[in-house]
């Protein structure tokens, strides 16, 4: 079966820091033929990166905490524990952004970088695609408050044992999907990662 879709109309309904597009389209059906015309709004952010910062020598994970507008309907938990992340700007590569954001948000210089995976975050309504990395860092001098003033960032950096980070996922203390994915990956791959990074 050939999978096809046809865009009938596209409209930009909002253009600001982010963009919202509205589509009228139709697509082929698994049972054959074409479905009815449908209307969908699409939140357009583009490509982003996230980096799980890990020190294999001390078995520490670097987490960041900041206010998130997406969590304002749960006021007592509007400050989310996450990992370093950022948008890929025009002319930048994912790797360059990983190094830049790690310095800006956590004060960490990455020694080595590997790709964990690439995925869409919420493809039912958003175009955002993430390249998820793991970065080898030295955690011994990490901590404090970071972020860029001109982006109004106020980021608290935490340095925790990898097992503590995993328990934060188990206990629902981490509620953002990207760090959950990253920390679960580390739990499954920590031994191979430590061997790779020559411990």
Looking at the annotation, which residues are catalytic? 151
d(CA 60, CA 198): 16
* Spatial CB neighbours of 171, under 8 Å, sequence gap ≥ 6: none
Helix (H) or strand (E) holding 74: none
With CA atoms as reference, report the closest residue to 162 among 94, 68, 62: 62
Q: Are 14 and 41 in contact (CB under 8 A)?
A: no
Looking at the DSSP bridge assignments, the partners of residue 10 are 23
Neighbours of 124 (CB within 10 A): 7
Cα distances from 171 to residues 12, 74, 80, 126, 180, in angstroms, run 40, 17, 14, 28, 11
Q: By C-alpha distance, which of 142, 141, 164 is closest to 59?
A: 164
Q: How far is CA 61 from CA 28, 39, 55, 85, 162, in A?
A: 45, 43, 6, 15, 5
């Amino acid at each position: 079966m050939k999978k096809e879709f046809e865009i009938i109309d596209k409209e930009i309904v909002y253009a600001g820091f982010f963009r919202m597009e509205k589509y009228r389209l139709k697509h082929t059906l698994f049972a054959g033929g074409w479905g009815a015309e449908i209307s969908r709004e699409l939140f357009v952010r583009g490509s982003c990166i996230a980096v799980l910062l890990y020190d294999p020598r001390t078995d520490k994970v670097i987490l960041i905490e900041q206010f998130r507008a997406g969590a304002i309907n749960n006021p007592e938990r509007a400050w989310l524990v996450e990992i370093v992340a950022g948008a890929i700007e025009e002319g930048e590569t994912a790797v360059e952004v990983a190094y830049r954001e790690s310095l800006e948000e956590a004060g960490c210089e990455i020694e080595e970088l590997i790709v964990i995976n690439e995925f869409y975050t919420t493809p039912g309504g958003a175009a955002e695609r993430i390249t998820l990395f793991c970065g080898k860092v030295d955690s011994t001098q990490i901590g404090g408050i970071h972020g860029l003033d001109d982006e109004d960032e106020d980021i608290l950096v935490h340095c925790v044992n990898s097992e503590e980070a995993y328990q934060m996922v188990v206990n629902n203390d981490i509620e953002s999907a990207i760090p959950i994915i990253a920390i679960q990956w580390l739990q499954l791959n920590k031994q191979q990662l430590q061997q790779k990074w020559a411990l």
